[in-house]
Structure 1
Amino acid sequence: MTQATAAATGAAATERFSTDKVVTGDTPPERVSLLARQILEAVYATIREHQVTYDEYDALKAWLIQVGADGEWPLFLDVFVEHVVEEVANANREGSKGTIEGPFYAPGAPAFATPATLPMRPDEKGTPMTFHGQVRAVDGTPLGGALVDIWHCDDEGFYAQFAPGIPEWNLRGRVTADESGHFTIRTIKPAPYQIPTDGATGAIIRAANWHAWRPAHLHLKVSAPGHQLITTQLYFPGDPHNDDDIASAVKPELMLDPKPIGDGVDVEYDFILDPAA
Protein backbone atom coordinates (compact mmCIF):
# COMPACT_ATOMS: atom_id res chain seq x y z
CA MET A 1 0.00 0.00 0.00
CA THR A 2 1.22 3.49 -0.82
CA GLN A 3 2.33 5.29 2.33
CA ALA A 4 -0.21 7.76 3.70
CA THR A 5 1.05 11.34 3.84
CA ALA A 6 0.05 14.25 6.04
CA ALA A 7 -0.90 16.29 2.99
CA ALA A 8 -3.22 13.58 1.65
CA THR A 9 -4.65 12.79 5.08
CA GLY A 10 -5.11 16.48 5.85
CA ALA A 11 -6.79 17.13 2.51
CA ALA A 12 -9.17 14.21 3.07
CA ALA A 13 -10.01 15.37 6.60
CA THR A 14 -10.55 18.94 5.47
CA GLU A 15 -12.78 17.87 2.59
CA ARG A 16 -14.75 15.58 4.91
CA PHE A 17 -15.23 18.34 7.47
CA SER A 18 -16.29 20.88 4.85
CA THR A 19 -18.79 18.43 3.38
CA ASP A 20 -20.27 16.90 6.53
CA LYS A 21 -20.26 19.71 9.08
CA VAL A 22 -22.95 22.36 8.87
CA VAL A 23 -21.89 25.79 10.08
CA THR A 24 -25.11 27.61 10.98
CA GLY A 25 -23.60 30.98 11.77
CA ASP A 26 -26.16 31.55 14.53
CA THR A 27 -23.67 32.34 17.30
CA PRO A 28 -24.57 35.80 18.67
CA PRO A 29 -22.01 38.54 17.90
CA GLU A 30 -21.57 39.17 21.62
CA ARG A 31 -20.46 35.57 22.10
CA VAL A 32 -18.10 35.71 19.13
CA SER A 33 -16.61 38.93 20.46
CA LEU A 34 -16.15 37.49 23.96
CA LEU A 35 -14.41 34.32 22.79
CA ALA A 36 -12.27 36.03 20.16
CA ARG A 37 -11.12 38.72 22.60
CA GLN A 38 -10.23 36.20 25.31
CA ILE A 39 -8.26 34.06 22.87
CA LEU A 40 -6.37 37.12 21.68
CA GLU A 41 -5.74 38.27 25.25
CA ALA A 42 -4.24 34.84 26.01
CA VAL A 43 -1.94 35.23 23.00
CA TYR A 44 -0.94 38.74 24.10
CA ALA A 45 -0.21 37.48 27.62
CA THR A 46 2.00 34.69 26.26
CA ILE A 47 3.96 37.12 24.07
CA ARG A 48 4.54 39.51 26.99
CA GLU A 49 5.37 36.83 29.56
CA HIS A 50 7.90 35.06 27.34
CA GLN A 51 9.23 38.11 25.45
CA VAL A 52 8.48 36.61 22.04
CA THR A 53 10.91 37.87 19.37
CA TYR A 54 10.15 38.91 15.81
CA ASP A 55 11.96 35.81 14.55
CA GLU A 56 9.65 33.64 16.67
CA TYR A 57 6.62 35.64 15.55
CA ASP A 58 7.56 35.22 11.89
CA ALA A 59 8.11 31.49 12.44
CA LEU A 60 4.61 31.28 13.92
CA LYS A 61 3.10 33.12 10.95
CA ALA A 62 4.88 30.84 8.49
CA TRP A 63 3.71 27.77 10.41
CA LEU A 64 0.08 28.93 10.56
CA ILE A 65 0.13 29.55 6.80
CA GLN A 66 1.60 26.08 6.21
CA VAL A 67 -1.07 24.38 8.37
CA GLY A 68 -3.69 25.84 6.05
CA ALA A 69 -1.72 25.03 2.91
CA ASP A 70 -1.38 21.42 4.04
CA GLY A 71 -5.10 21.22 4.86
CA GLU A 72 -4.18 20.16 8.39
CA TRP A 73 -6.45 22.34 10.53
CA PRO A 74 -8.87 19.45 11.24
CA LEU A 75 -5.94 17.21 12.17
CA PHE A 76 -4.22 19.81 14.37
CA LEU A 77 -7.36 21.04 16.15
CA ASP A 78 -8.79 17.55 16.72
CA VAL A 79 -5.49 16.31 18.14
CA PHE A 80 -4.60 19.29 20.34
CA VAL A 81 -7.83 21.16 21.15
CA GLU A 82 -10.90 18.91 20.83
CA HIS A 83 -10.34 17.04 24.11
CA VAL A 84 -11.04 20.21 26.12
CA VAL A 85 -14.14 21.06 24.07
CA GLU A 86 -15.41 17.50 24.68
CA GLU A 87 -14.67 17.80 28.40
CA VAL A 88 -16.81 20.96 28.65
CA ALA A 89 -19.59 19.67 26.38
CA ASN A 90 -20.06 16.42 28.32
CA ALA A 91 -19.40 17.65 31.86
CA ASN A 92 -22.97 17.02 33.03
CA ARG A 93 -23.43 13.52 31.63
CA GLU A 94 -24.34 10.76 34.08
CA GLY A 95 -23.85 7.90 31.62
CA SER A 96 -20.86 6.67 29.67
CA LYS A 97 -17.78 8.82 29.31
CA GLY A 98 -17.17 10.47 25.99
CA THR A 99 -13.97 11.56 24.32
CA ILE A 100 -12.89 13.10 21.03
CA GLU A 101 -14.31 12.20 17.63
CA GLY A 102 -11.02 12.91 15.87
CA PRO A 103 -10.59 13.81 12.20
CA PHE A 104 -11.23 10.36 10.67
CA TYR A 105 -14.99 9.84 11.06
CA ALA A 106 -16.99 9.11 7.89
CA PRO A 107 -20.81 9.18 8.12
CA GLY A 108 -22.97 6.74 6.20
CA ALA A 109 -21.08 3.52 6.90
CA PRO A 110 -22.78 0.24 5.89
CA ALA A 111 -25.62 -0.78 8.20
CA PHE A 112 -25.84 -4.20 9.86
CA ALA A 113 -28.00 -5.97 12.41
CA THR A 114 -26.25 -7.64 15.31
CA PRO A 115 -24.28 -9.91 15.23
CA ALA A 116 -22.19 -8.20 12.58
CA THR A 117 -18.78 -8.48 10.95
CA LEU A 118 -17.24 -5.21 9.86
CA PRO A 119 -16.22 -4.96 6.21
CA MET A 120 -12.63 -6.01 5.76
CA ARG A 121 -10.26 -7.30 3.12
CA PRO A 122 -10.04 -11.08 2.60
CA ASP A 123 -6.44 -11.00 3.81
CA GLU A 124 -6.97 -8.40 6.55
CA LYS A 125 -3.97 -8.45 8.88
CA GLY A 126 -4.36 -8.35 12.62
CA THR A 127 -5.68 -10.18 15.66
CA PRO A 128 -9.35 -11.23 15.30
CA MET A 129 -11.51 -9.47 17.88
CA THR A 130 -15.09 -9.88 19.06
CA PHE A 131 -16.53 -6.76 20.65
CA HIS A 132 -19.86 -7.03 22.46
CA GLY A 133 -21.95 -5.32 25.10
CA GLN A 134 -25.30 -3.77 25.92
CA VAL A 135 -26.73 -0.27 25.53
CA ARG A 136 -28.83 0.91 28.48
CA ALA A 137 -30.36 4.11 29.83
CA VAL A 138 -29.03 5.66 33.04
CA ASP A 139 -31.91 4.00 34.95
CA GLY A 140 -30.81 0.58 33.65
CA THR A 141 -33.52 0.18 31.00
CA PRO A 142 -32.19 -1.77 27.98
CA LEU A 143 -32.31 0.34 24.82
CA GLY A 144 -33.43 -2.05 22.11
CA GLY A 145 -32.50 -1.05 18.59
CA ALA A 146 -29.70 1.27 19.72
CA LEU A 147 -27.21 2.17 17.00
CA VAL A 148 -23.49 1.46 17.45
CA ASP A 149 -21.49 3.36 14.82
CA ILE A 150 -17.93 2.00 14.95
CA TRP A 151 -14.72 2.74 13.04
CA HIS A 152 -11.04 2.13 13.63
CA CYS A 153 -7.69 1.87 11.91
CA ASP A 154 -6.21 -1.32 10.51
CA ASP A 155 -3.24 -3.32 11.79
CA GLU A 156 -0.86 -0.82 10.20
CA GLY A 157 -2.53 2.23 11.72
CA PHE A 158 -4.36 3.47 8.62
CA TYR A 159 -8.02 4.51 8.24
CA ALA A 160 -10.18 3.77 5.22
CA GLN A 161 -10.96 6.92 3.21
CA PHE A 162 -7.95 8.70 4.71
CA ALA A 163 -5.12 6.55 3.33
CA PRO A 164 -4.62 5.14 -0.18
CA GLY A 165 -5.31 1.58 -1.24
CA ILE A 166 -7.93 0.71 1.42
CA PRO A 167 -11.52 -0.21 0.47
CA GLU A 168 -13.94 2.65 1.17
CA TRP A 169 -15.71 1.17 4.20
CA ASN A 170 -12.96 -1.06 5.55
CA LEU A 171 -13.40 -1.55 9.33
CA ARG A 172 -16.39 0.80 9.48
CA GLY A 173 -20.01 -0.03 10.17
CA ARG A 174 -23.27 0.95 11.87
CA VAL A 175 -24.63 -1.95 13.92
CA THR A 176 -28.18 -2.05 15.30
CA ALA A 177 -28.49 -3.72 18.70
CA ASP A 178 -31.17 -6.35 19.35
CA GLU A 179 -34.40 -5.79 21.31
CA SER A 180 -32.51 -6.03 24.62
CA GLY A 181 -29.82 -3.55 23.58
CA HIS A 182 -27.14 -6.22 23.08
CA PHE A 183 -24.69 -6.06 20.19
CA THR A 184 -21.85 -8.23 18.90
CA ILE A 185 -19.29 -6.98 16.39
CA ARG A 186 -16.52 -9.05 14.81
CA THR A 187 -13.48 -7.13 13.61
CA ILE A 188 -9.70 -6.99 14.18
CA LYS A 189 -7.79 -5.35 16.98
CA PRO A 190 -6.58 -1.91 15.85
CA ALA A 191 -2.96 -0.85 16.11
CA PRO A 192 -1.35 2.16 17.76
CA TYR A 193 -0.23 4.73 15.22
CA GLN A 194 1.54 8.01 14.73
CA ILE A 195 -0.49 10.89 13.42
CA PRO A 196 0.90 12.03 10.04
CA THR A 197 4.10 14.02 10.63
CA ASP A 198 5.32 15.06 7.18
CA GLY A 199 3.28 18.30 7.23
CA ALA A 200 2.90 21.35 9.45
CA THR A 201 1.56 19.42 12.45
CA GLY A 202 4.62 17.20 12.36
CA ALA A 203 6.83 20.28 12.15
CA ILE A 204 5.54 21.69 15.44
CA ILE A 205 5.80 18.25 17.07
CA ARG A 206 9.46 17.98 16.07
CA ALA A 207 10.23 21.57 17.02
CA ALA A 208 8.77 21.00 20.49
CA ASN A 209 10.39 17.55 20.84
CA TRP A 210 7.01 15.88 21.38
CA HIS A 211 6.01 12.42 20.17
CA ALA A 212 3.21 11.79 17.64
CA TRP A 213 1.71 8.53 18.94
CA ARG A 214 -1.88 7.60 19.65
CA PRO A 215 -2.58 4.35 21.56
CA ALA A 216 -4.67 1.65 19.90
CA HIS A 217 -8.38 2.47 20.13
CA LEU A 218 -11.87 1.88 18.83
CA HIS A 219 -14.00 4.88 17.79
CA LEU A 220 -17.72 4.80 18.54
CA LYS A 221 -20.88 6.86 18.29
CA VAL A 222 -23.72 5.23 20.22
CA SER A 223 -27.29 6.49 20.04
CA ALA A 224 -30.91 5.58 20.70
CA PRO A 225 -34.19 7.50 20.25
CA GLY A 226 -34.90 9.82 23.16
CA HIS A 227 -31.30 9.72 24.38
CA GLN A 228 -28.13 11.73 23.89
CA LEU A 229 -25.63 10.38 21.41
CA ILE A 230 -22.26 9.59 22.97
CA THR A 231 -19.05 9.88 20.96
CA THR A 232 -16.19 8.00 22.55
CA GLN A 233 -13.11 5.81 22.14
CA LEU A 234 -12.12 2.60 23.88
CA TYR A 235 -8.53 1.67 24.69
CA PHE A 236 -6.43 -1.43 25.41
CA PRO A 237 -4.40 -1.93 28.59
CA GLY A 238 -0.63 -2.14 28.28
CA ASP A 239 -0.28 0.29 25.41
CA PRO A 240 2.80 2.43 26.09
CA HIS A 241 0.98 5.59 25.00
CA ASN A 242 -2.13 5.27 27.15
CA ASP A 243 -0.44 7.63 29.60
CA ASP A 244 0.89 10.16 27.10
CA ASP A 245 -1.55 10.10 24.19
CA ILE A 246 -0.72 12.96 21.81
CA ALA A 247 -4.46 13.77 21.66
CA SER A 248 -4.98 13.66 25.48
CA ALA A 249 -8.13 11.57 24.90
CA VAL A 250 -7.58 8.52 27.16
CA LYS A 251 -9.74 8.19 30.29
CA PRO A 252 -9.63 5.36 32.85
CA GLU A 253 -13.32 4.65 32.31
CA LEU A 254 -12.65 3.89 28.64
CA MET A 255 -10.17 1.06 29.20
CA LEU A 256 -11.17 -2.37 27.89
CA ASP A 257 -10.37 -5.75 29.48
CA PRO A 258 -9.48 -8.11 26.60
CA LYS A 259 -9.82 -11.85 27.15
CA PRO A 260 -8.02 -14.38 24.92
CA ILE A 261 -10.36 -16.54 22.87
CA GLY A 262 -9.05 -18.95 20.22
CA ASP A 263 -6.61 -17.08 18.00
CA GLY A 264 -8.07 -13.71 18.95
CA VAL A 265 -9.47 -11.61 21.78
CA ASP A 266 -12.90 -10.94 23.26
CA VAL A 267 -13.80 -7.52 24.67
CA GLU A 268 -16.99 -6.43 26.43
CA TYR A 269 -18.18 -2.90 27.08
CA ASP A 270 -21.60 -1.53 27.96
CA PHE A 271 -22.83 1.94 27.05
CA ILE A 272 -25.07 4.03 29.31
CA LEU A 273 -26.94 6.83 27.52
CA ASP A 274 -28.30 9.96 29.12
CA PRO A 275 -31.85 11.09 28.30
CA ALA A 276 -32.18 13.70 25.59
CA ALA A 277 -32.04 17.24 26.91
Structure 2
Amino acid sequence: MSAPTAPNPTAAGSGRNATERFAQKQRSAAEVDHARVSAIATDALSALHEVIREHQVTYDEYDALKAWLIRVGEDGEWPLFLDVWIEHVVEEVANASREGTTGSIEGPYYIPGSPEFRSEATLPMREDEKGTPFLFQGTVTDLEGEPIEDARVELWHADADGYYSQFAPGIPEWNLRGTIRTGPDGRFAFHTVRPAPYQIPTDGSCGALIAAAGWHPWRPAHLHLKVSAPGKQLITTQLYFEGGSHVEDDVAQAVKPELILRPTPAASGTGEEVTYDFALDPA
Protein backbone atom coordinates (compact mmCIF):
# COMPACT_ATOMS: atom_id res chain seq x y z
CA MET A 1 0.00 0.00 0.00
CA SER A 2 1.41 3.39 -0.95
CA ALA A 3 1.86 6.15 1.58
CA PRO A 4 -0.82 8.80 2.09
CA THR A 5 -0.52 11.80 -0.17
CA ALA A 6 0.76 15.19 1.02
CA PRO A 7 -1.43 17.65 2.95
CA ASN A 8 -3.19 20.84 1.80
CA PRO A 9 -5.91 19.76 -0.67
CA THR A 10 -7.11 22.10 -3.40
CA ALA A 11 -9.90 21.83 -5.95
CA ALA A 12 -7.34 22.25 -8.74
CA GLY A 13 -5.22 19.38 -7.40
CA SER A 14 -8.21 17.08 -7.03
CA GLY A 15 -9.47 18.10 -10.47
CA ARG A 16 -6.15 17.36 -12.16
CA ASN A 17 -6.07 13.94 -10.49
CA ALA A 18 -9.56 13.17 -11.83
CA THR A 19 -8.54 14.39 -15.28
CA GLU A 20 -5.46 12.15 -15.34
CA ARG A 21 -7.53 9.13 -14.25
CA PHE A 22 -10.10 9.80 -16.95
CA ALA A 23 -7.47 10.18 -19.67
CA GLN A 24 -6.28 6.64 -18.97
CA LYS A 25 -9.59 5.16 -20.14
CA GLN A 26 -10.13 7.32 -23.23
CA ARG A 27 -10.99 5.52 -26.46
CA SER A 28 -8.78 5.65 -29.49
CA ALA A 29 -9.62 8.37 -32.02
CA ALA A 30 -9.74 5.63 -34.68
CA GLU A 31 -13.06 4.48 -33.20
CA VAL A 32 -14.80 7.83 -33.78
CA ASP A 33 -18.00 7.80 -35.88
CA HIS A 34 -17.58 11.11 -37.69
CA ALA A 35 -21.19 11.34 -38.86
CA ARG A 36 -22.46 10.83 -35.30
CA VAL A 37 -19.99 13.37 -33.88
CA SER A 38 -21.14 15.87 -36.52
CA ALA A 39 -24.82 15.31 -35.72
CA ILE A 40 -24.37 15.63 -31.94
CA ALA A 41 -21.99 18.60 -32.15
CA THR A 42 -24.24 20.43 -34.62
CA ASP A 43 -27.30 20.02 -32.40
CA ALA A 44 -25.37 21.02 -29.27
CA LEU A 45 -24.02 24.16 -30.91
CA SER A 46 -27.45 25.01 -32.32
CA ALA A 47 -28.95 24.70 -28.83
CA LEU A 48 -26.25 27.03 -27.46
CA HIS A 49 -26.91 29.52 -30.26
CA GLU A 50 -30.58 29.59 -29.24
CA VAL A 51 -29.62 30.23 -25.60
CA ILE A 52 -27.52 33.22 -26.70
CA ARG A 53 -30.39 34.63 -28.75
CA GLU A 54 -33.04 33.99 -26.09
CA HIS A 55 -31.01 35.63 -23.31
CA GLN A 56 -29.44 38.33 -25.51
CA VAL A 57 -25.94 37.44 -24.29
CA THR A 58 -23.60 40.44 -24.33
CA TYR A 59 -19.92 40.57 -25.33
CA ASP A 60 -18.95 41.10 -21.68
CA GLU A 61 -20.82 37.89 -20.78
CA TYR A 62 -19.26 36.10 -23.75
CA ASP A 63 -15.77 37.13 -22.64
CA ALA A 64 -16.55 36.01 -19.09
CA LEU A 65 -17.57 32.62 -20.49
CA LYS A 66 -14.33 32.28 -22.45
CA ALA A 67 -12.28 33.15 -19.36
CA TRP A 68 -14.23 30.63 -17.28
CA LEU A 69 -13.81 27.84 -19.86
CA ILE A 70 -10.05 28.46 -19.88
CA ARG A 71 -10.00 28.31 -16.07
CA VAL A 72 -11.91 24.99 -16.04
CA GLY A 73 -9.12 23.48 -18.12
CA GLU A 74 -6.38 25.04 -15.99
CA ASP A 75 -8.01 23.71 -12.83
CA GLY A 76 -8.44 20.26 -14.38
CA GLU A 77 -12.14 20.40 -13.52
CA TRP A 78 -13.75 19.22 -16.75
CA PRO A 79 -14.44 15.74 -15.29
CA LEU A 80 -15.97 17.38 -12.22
CA PHE A 81 -18.12 19.75 -14.27
CA LEU A 82 -19.37 17.04 -16.63
CA ASP A 83 -20.00 14.46 -13.92
CA VAL A 84 -21.94 16.91 -11.73
CA TRP A 85 -24.12 18.63 -14.33
CA ILE A 86 -24.22 16.38 -17.42
CA GLU A 87 -23.66 12.73 -16.52
CA HIS A 88 -27.08 12.12 -14.93
CA VAL A 89 -28.76 12.58 -18.33
CA VAL A 90 -26.25 10.32 -20.11
CA GLU A 91 -26.90 7.67 -17.42
CA GLU A 92 -30.66 8.05 -17.85
CA VAL A 93 -30.38 7.39 -21.60
CA ALA A 94 -27.87 4.54 -21.21
CA ASN A 95 -30.02 2.61 -18.70
CA ALA A 96 -33.48 3.36 -20.10
CA SER A 97 -34.15 -0.28 -21.05
CA ARG A 98 -32.69 -1.90 -17.91
CA GLU A 99 -35.12 -4.19 -16.04
CA GLY A 100 -33.00 -4.92 -12.97
CA THR A 101 -31.41 -2.62 -10.42
CA THR A 102 -31.68 1.10 -11.09
CA GLY A 103 -28.49 2.84 -12.15
CA SER A 104 -27.01 6.22 -11.29
CA ILE A 105 -23.91 8.22 -12.14
CA GLU A 106 -20.37 6.98 -11.60
CA GLY A 107 -18.90 10.37 -10.69
CA PRO A 108 -15.23 11.32 -11.02
CA TYR A 109 -13.81 9.35 -8.07
CA TYR A 110 -13.94 5.69 -9.14
CA ILE A 111 -10.68 3.72 -9.02
CA PRO A 112 -10.55 0.12 -10.32
CA GLY A 113 -8.58 -2.60 -8.57
CA SER A 114 -9.67 -2.08 -4.97
CA PRO A 115 -8.76 -4.79 -2.41
CA GLU A 116 -10.85 -7.92 -2.97
CA PHE A 117 -12.59 -10.08 -0.37
CA ARG A 118 -15.02 -13.00 -0.27
CA SER A 119 -18.64 -12.75 0.98
CA GLU A 120 -18.06 -10.49 4.01
CA ALA A 121 -15.40 -7.90 4.81
CA THR A 122 -14.53 -4.67 6.54
CA LEU A 123 -13.50 -1.94 4.14
CA PRO A 124 -9.93 -0.71 4.58
CA MET A 125 -10.02 2.25 6.94
CA ARG A 126 -7.92 4.16 9.44
CA GLU A 127 -7.77 2.98 13.04
CA ASP A 128 -9.45 6.21 14.14
CA GLU A 129 -11.88 6.43 11.20
CA LYS A 130 -14.69 8.83 12.07
CA GLY A 131 -18.33 8.01 11.42
CA THR A 132 -21.18 5.73 12.54
CA PRO A 133 -20.38 2.01 12.05
CA PHE A 134 -22.47 0.82 9.11
CA LEU A 135 -23.24 -2.67 7.77
CA PHE A 136 -24.26 -2.72 4.11
CA GLN A 137 -25.40 -6.16 2.96
CA GLY A 138 -27.51 -7.84 0.33
CA THR A 139 -27.76 -10.44 -2.41
CA VAL A 140 -26.92 -10.39 -6.11
CA THR A 141 -29.39 -12.26 -8.33
CA ASP A 142 -30.47 -12.52 -11.95
CA LEU A 143 -33.83 -11.16 -13.08
CA GLU A 144 -35.54 -14.41 -12.03
CA GLY A 145 -34.25 -14.04 -8.48
CA GLU A 146 -31.63 -16.80 -8.69
CA PRO A 147 -28.50 -15.97 -6.67
CA ILE A 148 -25.31 -15.32 -8.61
CA GLU A 149 -22.11 -16.80 -7.25
CA ASP A 150 -18.83 -14.94 -7.74
CA ALA A 151 -20.47 -11.64 -8.65
CA ARG A 152 -18.22 -8.64 -8.01
CA VAL A 153 -19.62 -5.93 -5.75
CA GLU A 154 -17.37 -2.85 -5.71
CA LEU A 155 -18.04 -0.24 -3.03
CA TRP A 156 -16.41 3.14 -2.50
CA HIS A 157 -17.50 6.27 -0.68
CA ALA A 158 -16.31 9.47 0.96
CA ASP A 159 -15.24 9.60 4.57
CA ALA A 160 -17.08 11.48 7.33
CA ASP A 161 -15.41 14.71 6.18
CA GLY A 162 -16.52 14.28 2.57
CA TYR A 163 -13.13 13.27 1.09
CA TYR A 164 -12.23 10.34 -1.18
CA SER A 165 -9.01 8.37 -0.95
CA GLN A 166 -6.64 8.92 -3.90
CA PHE A 167 -8.28 12.29 -4.60
CA ALA A 168 -7.55 14.16 -1.37
CA PRO A 169 -4.26 14.34 0.51
CA GLY A 170 -3.48 12.56 3.75
CA ILE A 171 -5.78 9.56 3.23
CA PRO A 172 -4.43 5.98 2.83
CA GLU A 173 -4.60 4.70 -0.74
CA TRP A 174 -7.57 2.32 -0.50
CA ASN A 175 -9.39 3.93 2.40
CA LEU A 176 -13.13 3.08 2.24
CA ARG A 177 -12.76 1.19 -1.05
CA GLY A 178 -13.20 -2.54 -1.56
CA THR A 179 -14.60 -5.37 -3.68
CA ILE A 180 -16.48 -8.46 -2.49
CA ARG A 181 -16.98 -11.66 -4.47
CA THR A 182 -20.30 -13.27 -3.60
CA GLY A 183 -20.58 -16.85 -2.39
CA PRO A 184 -22.95 -19.57 -3.69
CA ASP A 185 -25.91 -17.80 -2.03
CA GLY A 186 -25.11 -14.56 -3.85
CA ARG A 187 -24.70 -12.68 -0.58
CA PHE A 188 -22.27 -9.92 0.35
CA ALA A 189 -21.71 -7.84 3.48
CA PHE A 190 -19.54 -4.72 3.90
CA HIS A 191 -18.64 -3.31 7.30
CA THR A 192 -17.83 0.37 6.90
CA VAL A 193 -18.85 3.77 8.28
CA ARG A 194 -21.77 5.87 7.18
CA PRO A 195 -20.60 8.67 4.85
CA ALA A 196 -21.62 12.30 5.29
CA PRO A 197 -23.03 14.84 2.83
CA TYR A 198 -20.29 16.90 1.23
CA GLN A 199 -19.68 19.88 -1.00
CA ILE A 200 -18.16 19.42 -4.40
CA PRO A 201 -14.89 21.41 -4.61
CA THR A 202 -15.69 25.12 -4.51
CA ASP A 203 -12.23 26.72 -4.61
CA GLY A 204 -11.90 26.21 -8.37
CA SER A 205 -13.83 27.05 -11.53
CA CYS A 206 -16.87 24.89 -10.72
CA GLY A 207 -17.15 26.73 -7.42
CA ALA A 208 -17.00 30.03 -9.29
CA LEU A 209 -19.96 28.95 -11.45
CA ILE A 210 -21.93 27.88 -8.37
CA ALA A 211 -21.28 31.22 -6.64
CA ALA A 212 -22.14 33.28 -9.74
CA ALA A 213 -25.41 31.37 -10.28
CA GLY A 214 -26.39 31.40 -6.60
CA TRP A 215 -26.60 27.60 -6.48
CA HIS A 216 -25.55 25.32 -3.63
CA PRO A 217 -22.61 22.86 -3.97
CA TRP A 218 -23.91 19.96 -1.86
CA ARG A 219 -24.27 16.28 -2.61
CA PRO A 220 -26.24 14.06 -0.19
CA ALA A 221 -24.41 11.28 1.63
CA HIS A 222 -24.15 8.26 -0.67
CA LEU A 223 -22.51 4.93 -1.40
CA HIS A 224 -21.03 4.22 -4.85
CA LEU A 225 -21.35 0.72 -6.29
CA LYS A 226 -20.48 -1.29 -9.36
CA VAL A 227 -21.96 -4.80 -9.51
CA SER A 228 -21.02 -7.26 -12.25
CA ALA A 229 -20.97 -10.96 -13.11
CA PRO A 230 -20.14 -13.09 -16.18
CA GLY A 231 -22.95 -12.96 -18.73
CA LYS A 232 -24.63 -10.01 -17.00
CA GLN A 233 -24.70 -6.26 -17.56
CA LEU A 234 -22.57 -4.27 -15.15
CA ILE A 235 -24.63 -1.85 -13.09
CA THR A 236 -23.15 1.38 -11.74
CA THR A 237 -25.23 3.14 -9.11
CA GLN A 238 -25.32 5.30 -5.99
CA LEU A 239 -27.41 4.75 -2.86
CA TYR A 240 -28.66 7.55 -0.62
CA PHE A 241 -30.11 7.82 2.90
CA GLU A 242 -33.74 8.58 3.65
CA GLY A 243 -34.14 11.96 5.32
CA GLY A 244 -30.57 12.95 4.59
CA SER A 245 -29.53 16.50 3.79
CA HIS A 246 -29.84 17.42 0.10
CA VAL A 247 -31.54 14.19 -0.97
CA GLU A 248 -34.24 16.44 -2.41
CA ASP A 249 -31.88 18.93 -4.09
CA ASP A 250 -28.71 17.06 -5.02
CA VAL A 251 -26.41 19.35 -7.03
CA ALA A 252 -25.70 16.40 -9.38
CA GLN A 253 -29.43 15.58 -9.81
CA ALA A 254 -28.63 11.87 -9.44
CA VAL A 255 -31.06 10.79 -6.67
CA LYS A 256 -33.90 8.42 -7.63
CA PRO A 257 -36.63 7.00 -5.36
CA GLU A 258 -35.44 3.42 -5.96
CA LEU A 259 -32.01 4.30 -4.59
CA ILE A 260 -33.05 5.47 -1.13
CA LEU A 261 -31.78 3.42 1.83
CA ARG A 262 -33.66 3.15 5.13
CA PRO A 263 -31.11 1.97 7.72
CA THR A 264 -32.12 0.50 11.07
CA PRO A 265 -30.16 0.01 14.31
CA ALA A 266 -27.64 -2.80 13.76
CA ALA A 267 -28.43 -6.22 15.20
CA SER A 268 -24.98 -6.10 16.83
CA GLY A 269 -26.07 -3.12 18.88
CA THR A 270 -23.42 -0.88 17.33
CA GLY A 271 -24.23 1.55 14.54
CA GLU A 272 -26.67 0.93 11.71
CA GLU A 273 -27.34 -1.65 9.02
CA VAL A 274 -29.30 -1.95 5.81
CA THR A 275 -30.01 -4.64 3.23
CA TYR A 276 -30.15 -3.79 -0.46
CA ASP A 277 -30.33 -6.43 -3.19
CA PHE A 278 -29.12 -6.22 -6.78
CA ALA A 279 -30.76 -7.85 -9.82
CA LEU A 280 -28.55 -7.97 -12.92
CA ASP A 281 -29.83 -7.84 -16.50
CA PRO A 282 -28.46 -10.35 -19.03
CA ALA A 283 -25.61 -9.06 -21.18
* Superposition CA RMSD, Å: 1.1
1:163 to 152, 162, 168: 168
Displacement after TM superposition at 1:249 (Å): 0.4
Residues 197 and 245 in structure 2, CA contact (< 8 A), matched pair in contact too: no
Distance in 2 between residues matched to 1:191 and 1:106, nearest whole Å: 20
Q: Which residue pairs with 1:272 in the alignment? A: 279
Structure 1 residues 234-277: Cα deviation after superposition (integer angstroms, max 9, x where no partner): 0001112001000000000000110112230001100010000x
**Residues 3/212 of structure 1: CA separation in 2 closer, same or farther (3 Å cut):** farther
How many equivalent pairs are there?
Answer: 276
1:93 paired to 2:101: no
Displacement after TM superposition at 1:26 (Å): 1.6
Secondary structure in 1 matching 2:70? helix
Distance in 2 between residues matched to 1:24 and 1:269, nearest whole Å: 40
2:15 to 10, 25, 43: 10
1:41 paired to 2:32: no
2:255 to 243, 250, 273: 250
Q: Which residue pairs with 1:130 in the alignment? A: 135
Q: Tell me the TM-score normalised to structure 1 length.
A: 0.97
Secondary structure in 1 matching 2:261? coil
1:177 paired to 2:182: yes
Secondary structure in 1 matching 2:31? coil
Displacement after TM superposition at 1:24 (Å): 5.1
Greater CA drift, 253-262 or 207-216: 253-262
Displacement after TM superposition at 1:22 (Å): 3.5
Q: Which residue pairs with 1:56 in the alignment? A: 61
Q: Which residue pairs with 1:187 in the alignment? A: 192
Secondary structure in 1 matching 2:172? coil
1:237 paired to 2:223: no
Secondary structure in 1 matching 2:252? coil
Structure 1 residues 66-124: Cα deviation after superposition (integer angstroms, max 9, x where no partner): 00000000000000000000000000000000000000001111111121111000111
Q: Percent identity?
A: 63
| 4+ runs deviating over 4 angstroms | none
Gapped regions of structure 1 (runs ≥ 5): none
**Residues 23/245 of structure 1: CA separation in 2 closer, same or farther (3 Å cut):** farther
Displacement after TM superposition at 1:21 (Å): 3.8
Q: How does 1:77-226 map to 2 (within 5 A)?
A: 77-226=82-231
**Residues 198/80 of structure 1: CA separation in 2 closer, same or farther (3 Å cut):** same
